[in-house]
Structure 1
Amino acid sequence: MSRAGAARIAGILLTLLLLPALLAGCFNDYVRPRNSVVPEIPETTPAPTPEAVATGGTLTVAVGGSPRKFNPLTTTNEDLIYYSAFAYEPLIALGNSMLPEAALATDWSSPDGVNWTIYLRQDVRFSDGTQLTSRDVAATVEALRNSNSVYSECVAGVDTCAAEDNTVKFRLKAADGLFPWKLFFPILKADETASAYPAGTGPFRLSSSSDNELRYVRNENYRGGPAAIDTVVLKFYETAGEKALSGCDLILLFGDAAVKYSSQLGYSVRQFDSNSLICIVPYMYTGKKIEYQVSDKQKITQSATKRQESLSLNMRRVLECAIDRERVIERTVSGKGKAYDWPGLDNTVFRKHVELPTFAEDTIEKLLKQEGYAHEGGNTAWYKGTDTEKKEPLTFCFVVDSEDVELIQACDSVVSRLKAIGIKSVVDVAAGGELTAKFLSGQYDYTFMRLNIGLAPDLRRVFANGSIFDYNGYDTEALRSRANALVRTWRQQGTGTDSCEAFAESYSAGLGELYGTLEKELPFIGLYVRRSSLLYSARLGIEEAAGTEAWNVFPDPASWYLV
């Protein structure tokens, strides 16, 4: 299946506030964590004392890829999406608690959740000296609505956006109490939204560009006053290895590179989570048989009745208990992962802390016996008690995208664990139109998927027509009732930071009820998200990093200093 096709299917399954890589918070996904499995990393260097802080100096930053252009609305370079904080700012920032905080906006209000008024600061100038106006905000929103930006989902619910004197007025297509959480995209000048290097309002401005680097200097027009650091140089490297070994003061590492290079001497490390949840999704329309041509000589046919048994809640629980997530993480991302189950917002007021059991062989045997299966112990096959001739061993049929190596590795790990306890598996790999056809026809029991999860638990679309529950037959009365209750919560007023916190707490309660229903239904089984790392040298002072294990938001570079 093509990457676009995989993204489309994942979108059908779940669309939260989808942002593939944002200014940090998007990698903190609202999910239930199990035990983290991460390699040892060096201890954090203590922040220097105030007496040691000095102004001036040049900060070097390693970036993967090419510096052809740096427009924060259109770039797909994951490093640059993070580093846009050097030169650009949003209307509303997300604090360490993941609640909205004033940035270019001073306040926001709504009488009904549909009509929102955003009040702008009057002391903000772009790096070229021109003043920020409501027209710039409206133009940025319009650019996002007409592009495929990583931030476009933030304004997908906007019907109209009008610029007035010192305010911007939004009318949404439907009430959305989470709207302030979505206004953290960078604001550009109205006539530079398509520019290769647009002016920004952040603490640094572009000074020069070349084939291998972008050089930024202190923005003297910055509303917060001059930054402590004089110059920031973004140096570009072709490979992750070259970037990791560059010796720069600041290095972002993702996936396997984070495993291999995070223990470099001389660097402190902060870890954060990706926004891609690797999970297993069952097919729930069980009124049809399934056929697999395993080879020229072997064909598996599973009757509708037999298939319904293999997808029963007990059998889904068997699969859940059979998974050794630590082993999956070690085999797929070399241990640089964090085990998760159901998505949501981590480290925030939305967070629900629930620990689930890991691999549990005794529970598996109990569940299988309840379903009428028996075996002779060890890795011998399981058969129904009525199958006296032992012709139909318990078999799970998986389908996986042949173009996604990580999903294939995760599938192999799960299948090998099932084999060790006597459960047989058939794995069908396909791509493109063939894979799409299998999804639509239901020619599988379970599929391995990536669900993109993001900042806010924007779950309405989960329950829309064509969503995961409708698509896979999970449109139960309990789930629908919980979903409707959440939609009603969206319709309450949300005015100012205080009410945003109240809204978050109220929404959290409703999400907890829905979460309990989902746990009973087990619509899919989460496996893990990747861990990524930010390395910074001993000469770089980042006060916000001290004493934390992961960042909810990318620390404000205006407060950084060199020692």
Structure 2
Amino acid sequence: MRLPLLLTTALSAAFLAAAPVLFPAPAQAQEGKTFRYAYRVDPASLDPHALAETFTLSWLGQVYEPLVGRGKKLELVPALATTWEQPEPNVWRFHLREGVKFADGTPLTADDVVFSLQRVKKDGSDMAYTVASVTDIKKVDDLTVDLVMAKPNPILPVQITSTYIMSKAWAEKNGATAPASVKAKVENFASTNANGTGPFMIASRQAGVKTELVPNPNWWGEKSSNVDKVVFTPIQSDATRVAALLSGEVDMVYPVPQQDVARIEGNDGTKVIKGSELRTMMLAMDQHRDELQNSDAKGKNPLKDKRVRQAIYQAIDMNAIRDRIMGGTSHIAGTMIAPGINGYDPKLDDRAAPYDPEASKKLLAEAGYPNGFTFTMDCSNDRYVNDERICQAIVGMLGRVGLKVTLNAQTRSKFFEKVLSRDTSFAMIGWQPLSYDAHSTLQDTMNTPVEKVGTYNVGNYSNPKVDELTQKIEVEVDPAKRNAMIFEAMMLDKADYGHIPVHQAGLAWGVRKGVNVVQRSDDSLELKWVSVD
């Protein structure tokens, strides 16, 4: 029996260098409406399996598609699969949409799905965690694929909503059968070229400068946008990005710095759309090395001591960061998951300990560091809202309790390359579960790093009980039991000061009046829903 959303509907409700022109633009792309928008950075790669970064995956979601998608309210919706079911407890069967074609006209078949998911599991992929539970991928027939697991995984469909399907023939023809890892600085044809089944396709691209997209004439979906051409421009400078909107150079910019909201709202031709992020910013601390890198604490790693981690926690004034840097728009986080993520419990969201610099000094003295110690903090300067300013503030706050921290702020490409190889002592990083479920946060940022899990656990936090609970949560179908285990695991990390959650930032998109967009709390702009008056 084929049911459109089956078990996952209930779960989703409860959880919630210049590249060549790829394809000639359709004739109508020279007519109709043009939508011009800017974000602070460019996609890190066009390879859909190269980097698990929210913006890159969101942007590529205009060109590539998953088996299971997300709607305007982040609900599960059919995408390349129209229905899915569990014929056996450890098997998920996906029935593919008939008549789907890639942008180059090649039909989508089960062979493409099998190839793509096998590619996701290869070395170099940053998306392997989304199918970590899958042990085998089987073609049943041309339009049916089985994903087999060693043990039941009731939430698999919510885990793969950003796991994109590629053309096997195209990848083989162009030498792109393996992922081109951004972290390892690997590139292949898929890094700079794309061929998906999505509503748009890339007409031309100058990496870091401008990308033009046009509607994919082969797209299976019903067109709801009146846009016939999209021009995307990365503009890193906040001031330049806002100026481009106010001058009419672009139709939309995001994110909008809090200090510019009133200016945009006061302009007759523009407005600001506001919301809240699902991404939690956090501080990761090296709890693995026996000697802390770039530190005068020779032969020791102070961050292994819970007292030191708590001292860092209590030295940071989160209220000041919210009020002075985030303009009062952020939600101070007491836990590693945001409101709106399945498994969130407001009882978890209280801070583990109050801001108290004097308590920090006492804890450092008790741990044997009355005069503090030196270390380096890694931070991006172009990835998250006010990222470098937040890190500068934290460095200053830690300095007031005797911790002498050197800030290493870099562009996101260099930042991710460094911290994801765990070449860091102390770093600020963000995580938004692609599944919108707490299990992803546990598996990917808190589980002991091993094989394809713990990828974003850059501080190597390790608690065997958290690992055990994470495995149980993945297979538990009873929501009450599942939420109880999520609560327990999150409390263990909190008690360990394994991470320091910072906040969830506010969302602010600036748009020209007459431009209609749908703002989702995952900060994803879907071009298929954009219309221009």
If the length of structure 2 is used for normalisation, what is the TM-score?
0.65
Supply the RMSD in Å over aligned alpha carbons. Answer: 5.1
CA 1:132 to 1:175, structure 2 compared with 1: closer, same or farther past 3 Å?
same
Distance (whole Å) between structure 1 residues aligned to residue 32 and residue 70 of structure 2: 28
1:490 corresponds in structure 2 to 474
Gaps of 5+ in 2: 1-14, 16-30, 177-189
1:16 corresponds in structure 2 to none
Distance (whole Å) between structure 1 residues aligned to residue 193 and residue 398 of structure 2: 53
Deviations 1:36-88 (A, max 9, x none): xxxxxxxxxxxxxxxxxxx9522223366779995545589976643334333
Match of 1:515 among 490, 515, 531: 490
Secondary structure in 1 matching 2:483: helix
Secondary structure in 1 matching 2:373: strand
Distance (whole Å) between structure 2 residues aligned to residue 236 and residue 338 of structure 1: 30
Match of 1:454 among 427, 430, 433: 433
Q: Which amino acid aligns with 2:336?
A: P
Considering Cα pairs closer than 8 Å and 6+ residues apart, tell me whether 1 or 2 has the greater RCO.
1
Q: Which amino acid aligns with 1:522?
A: Y
> Contact 1:63 / 1:80 at 8 angstroms: preserved in 2?
no
Distance (whole Å) between structure 2 residues aligned to residue 528 and residue 271 of structure 1: 14
Match of 2:231 among 229, 234, 237: 234
1:245 corresponds in structure 2 to 243
1:351 corresponds in structure 2 to 344
Match of 1:425 among 387, 403, 409: 403
Distance (whole Å) between structure 2 residues aligned to residue 258 and residue 79 of structure 1: 17
**Superposition pairs for residues 129-148 of structure 1, below 5 Å?**
129-146=105-122, 148=124
Greater radius of gyration (CA): 1
Shift of 1:253: 3.3
CA 1:276 to 1:359, structure 2 compared with 1: closer, same or farther past 3 Å?
closer
2:169 corresponds in structure 1 to 191
Match of 1:268 among 241, 265, 272: 272
1:278 corresponds in structure 2 to 282
Q: Does 1:540 align with 2:515?
A: yes
Q: Does 1:109 align with 2:61?
A: no
1:88 corresponds in structure 2 to 64
Secondary structure in 2 matching 1:164: strand
Distance (whole Å) between structure 1 residues aligned to residue 460 and residue 98 of structure 2: 51
Distance (whole Å) between structure 2 residues aligned to residue 65 and residue 213 of structure 1: 11
2:220 corresponds in structure 1 to 223
Secondary structure in 1 matching 2:346: coil
Q: Which amino acid aligns with 1:519?
A: K
Gaps of 5+ in 1: 1-29, 31-54, 295-299, 374-381, 385-391, 493-501
CA 1:532 to 1:153, structure 2 compared with 1: closer, same or farther past 3 Å?
farther
> Contact 1:401 / 1:407 at 8 angstroms: preserved in 2?
no
2:36 corresponds in structure 1 to 60
Q: Which amino acid aligns with 1:229?
A: N
If the length of structure 1 is used for normalisation, what is the TM-score?
0.62
CA 1:205 to 1:416, structure 2 compared with 1: closer, same or farther past 3 Å?
closer
Match of 1:177 among 149, 154, 162: 154
> Contact 1:113 / 1:490 at 8 angstroms: preserved in 2?
no
Shift of 1:463: 4.2
Distance (whole Å) between structure 2 residues aligned to residue 75 and residue 516 of structure 1: 29
Distance (whole Å) between structure 2 residues aligned to residue 99 and residue 173 of structure 1: 27
1:495 corresponds in structure 2 to none
Distance (whole Å) between structure 2 residues aligned to residue 484 and residue 131 of structure 1: 42
1:43 corresponds in structure 2 to none
2:393 corresponds in structure 1 to 413
Match of 1:524 among 499, 505, 517: 499
1:562 corresponds in structure 2 to 532
CA 1:523 to 1:225, structure 2 compared with 1: closer, same or farther past 3 Å?
closer
> Contact 1:71 / 1:198 at 8 angstroms: preserved in 2?
yes
CA 1:127 to 1:532, structure 2 compared with 1: closer, same or farther past 3 Å?
same
Secondary structure in 1 matching 2:197: coil
Shift of 1:531: 5.4
1:168 corresponds in structure 2 to 145
Distance (whole Å) between structure 2 residues aligned to residue 348 and residue 232 of structure 1: 34
Distance (whole Å) between structure 2 residues aligned to residue 290 and residue 199 of structure 1: 45
Distance (whole Å) between structure 1 residues aligned to residue 165 and residue 460 of structure 2: 40
1:151 corresponds in structure 2 to 127
Q: How many residues are matched?
A: 450
> Contact 1:324 / 1:359 at 8 angstroms: preserved in 2?
no
